[in-house]
Amino acid sequence: MKVSKNIYLFASLLFLFTVYLLTIAPGVVQIDSGELAAVASTLGIAHPTGYPLFTLIGYLFTKIFFFTSKIFALNLLSTLYTIGGYFFIFKINQLLISKSLTESNIEKKKKAKTLSTQIDENTIAFLSIVSALSLAFTRTFWLQSTSVEVYSLHILLISSSIYLFLKAYFFESTKTKSLDKMELKHWLIFAFVLGLSFTNHMTSILVLPAFAYLYFTRSGFNKSSLKLIAIMLIPFAIALSTYLYLPIAASNNPSINWGNPVDWERFKRHIMGWQYQSWIFSSTESASKQFKYFISIYPVEFAYVGLIFVLIGIYHLNKVNKKILIFLILLFVTTILYAINYDINDIDSYFLLAFISSGLILTSGFHFVYEKFLKQSSGSKYLLLIIPLFTLLFNFEKANQSDNVQYQQYTKAVLNSTEKNSIVISYLWDFFISPSYYFQFVENERKDIVIIDKELVRRSWYFNQLKTNYPVVYNRSKNLIDGFIPELLKFERNENYNSQILEKYYREIILSFILHNLSDFTVYLGPELIMNEIKSGWLVLPDSLQIIPDLFLFKIVKDTNYQPLISKEYDIKFRDDKSYYTETLKNLIVTTHINRAMYELKFGKKQEAKFLVEKVLKISPEIQLPDDLAKLIVE
């Protein structure tokens, strides 16, 4: 029985949506999830490069899906974005088979040695789906569907840009010397979508070398081809105007106003990601480390077996269309060269375009295997489904985020452990500060707590956000802030600045947030500040103040009397994934609990200490406890 190509596509979309929905995160996860959800929910401004398109669509989506929590609605939107990306990968695969892989660039006398160019549309659709699913179940691609992040929309926009470019590239004009209207239409639509891609993520620039290669090899580097580029700049610029959202939103002083891009200077710095430039092309050592990491995860992404088909695909493309092979390799190499020079922990998503280009090469591999070994046997092509299904099973555990509640539970537990009208100074962005943005500014939980990101105090724009959200705390340190900002602007403008003056103001402002507010705020420090800034002597408190361990944070008090916990009951369901983020989160809690248990013992509170030790052992059963605490377990 012949199956329609539309049935293939519909069935694959339904299957993919079902799998993705089963693995979607129920709430806020680590890194930027909380911040991005809060920005999209409140029409704020996200970290560089601002992501205006992501924010605007997300805001509209939360209004449409008003019957569920905003965070789940935005997680679901990421699922839909990623499935949209899958659809365009499928369309690209169809093009590669029907327009490229069957157009041999080998001389006529050698054509007899190549694969047959006769292949029906239904088989093209099937092979395209097999390849697209194999990519859709790679770990990093799949993960973008599970929680709110800009990379899910990036997948959709970058894959649709590639499809529209190739569609225009393969278009056969009815005119020989000039563009006809239909061909021009293809190029203009492509340019507009590419412009939209730039309004979501600036790494869209990585496709340009490959696009330029194919474009100029087709059209030549001449007046006509350059004129077409000039024409395409118009829809590109129209799409790019979405960035005007940033200064408009900033003028309204939203609660999350990263970069405060109200003028050209701040706007330019924000969309160019100025504050992250120190992490890019920082050292050969960093590049080597990131490259080794990529090499380690690359075969895992495709469940190892997929790489066999990638290699076959390279062989086949080299035979039938070297230009397309070079195009895809350029996408791959450009991405790797950029990504390995970005010194951050969560680098995986920056390799997405490399995985996508590999997935497109995979199509050629499946086509070769089908033509060479499976074409003659009816129904045998369905054996190829083993590859995406195996990739699904191989990556399911790593991609599944349906049980990822630990970060939102931790954040809520931290907020609930603090006294009313508190200040928390921390720089646990990935684990606490970013999730807290969502709970405070969207769910309106614990709005009485002032949360200060110690690292963002290094940025001039951050004081405007502090002033908007916490005017009392801002005004009490205003004199220092007013002295700091002019010096800080010199640094941000690459003018002559005095690093010692900057450091002096920076420390004094952090200290002033503590000392100027102790009269009517309870001040807490994150455990990372104790382990780093306090331990190293970077932050020194007056002798009249004491730092005592609390449940998750450290409290600053004025006397040596016993300080009971506000609350010690909480529930955090940790993931059993041994990841950097899970293990770090566990270590943060274990550290504060052990310190608090020792504090309880100091005041003879054995039962309270034992309660905390039992919590520690549930989190980390193999931990080596201090002797005094270990005794509590055997007593």
Write out the residue range of the structural domain in which residue 165 sits.
5-399
Calpha distance 188→201 (Å, rounded): 20
Calpha distance 136→502 (Å, rounded): 47
pLDDT number for residue 303? 97
pLDDT number for residue 105? 44
SS3 67: coil
Same-domain check for residues 279 and 302: yes
- The residue-averaged pLDDT of 17-39 equals 97
Confidence class of residue 177 from pLDDT cuts 50, 70 and 90?
low
Calpha distance 458→485 (Å, rounded): 9
Instruction: Choose the weakest-confidence range: 165-169, 216-220, 392-396, 612-616.
Output: 216-220
Structural domain contains residue 52: yes
- The residue-averaged pLDDT of 436-460 equals 97
Q: Give the domain-ending residue among 399, 414, 449.
A: 399
Same-domain check for residues 395 and 247: yes
pLDDT number for residue 121? 87
Same-domain check for residues 379 and 411: no
Does position 404 have pLDDT exceeding 90, yes or no? yes
- The residue-averaged pLDDT of 605-628 equals 94
What percentage of the chain exceeds 70 in pLDDT?
95
What is the token pair recorded at 354?
């490399």
Tens of pLDDT along 343-378? 888 899 999 999 999 999 999 999 999 999 998 887
Does position 592 have pLDDT exceeding 90, yes or no? yes
Q: Give the domain-ending residue among 352, 369, 399.
A: 399
Calpha distance 165→86 (Å, rounded): 17
User: Mean pLDDT over all residues of the chain?
Assistant: 93
pTM: 0.94
Same-domain check for residues 13 and 41: yes
Torsion on CA atoms 182, 153, 287, 293, rounded to nearest 10: -120
pLDDT number for residue 106? 43
Structural domain contains residue 598: no
- The residue-averaged pLDDT of 615-624 equals 94
Same-domain check for residues 389 and 410: no
Does position 113 have pLDDT exceeding 60, yes or no? no
pLDDT number for residue 23? 98
Same-domain check for residues 172 and 44: yes
Structural domain contains residue 389: yes
Confidence class of residue 279 from pLDDT cuts 50, 70 and 90?
confident
Same-domain check for residues 347 and 314: yes
Chain-centroid distance, C-alpha 114: 42
117 contacts 143 by C-beta, under 8 angstroms: no
Same-domain check for residues 244 and 264: yes
Tens of pLDDT along 298-351? 999 999 999 999 999 999 999 999 999 999 999 999 999 999 998 888 899 999
Does position 635 have pLDDT exceeding 80, yes or no? no
- The residue-averaged pLDDT of 61-71 equals 94
pLDDT number for residue 118? 64
Q: Give the domain-ending residue among 538, 572, 606.
A: 572
Tens of pLDDT along 86-105? 999 999 999 999 876 555 44
Instruction: Say how many domains are in the chain.
Output: 2
474 contacts 450 by C-beta, under 8 angstroms: no
Same-domain check for residues 321 and 470: no
257: β partners: 45
Calpha distance 431→388 (Å, rounded): 33
pLDDT number for residue 3? 63
Structural domain contains residue 254: yes
Structural domain contains residue 592: no
Tens of pLDDT along 201-246? 999 999 999 999 999 998 889 999 999 999 999 999 999 999 999 9
Structural domain contains residue 303: yes
Instruction: Return the sign of the alpha-carbon dihedral for residues 153, 8, 368, 190.
Output: negative
Same-domain check for residues 379 and 503: no
Structural domain contains residue 311: yes
Structural domain contains residue 602: no
Confidence class of residue 119 from pLDDT cuts 50, 70 and 90?
confident
Same-domain check for residues 509 and 479: yes
Does position 522 have pLDDT exceeding 50, yes or no? yes
Same-domain check for residues 453 and 565: yes
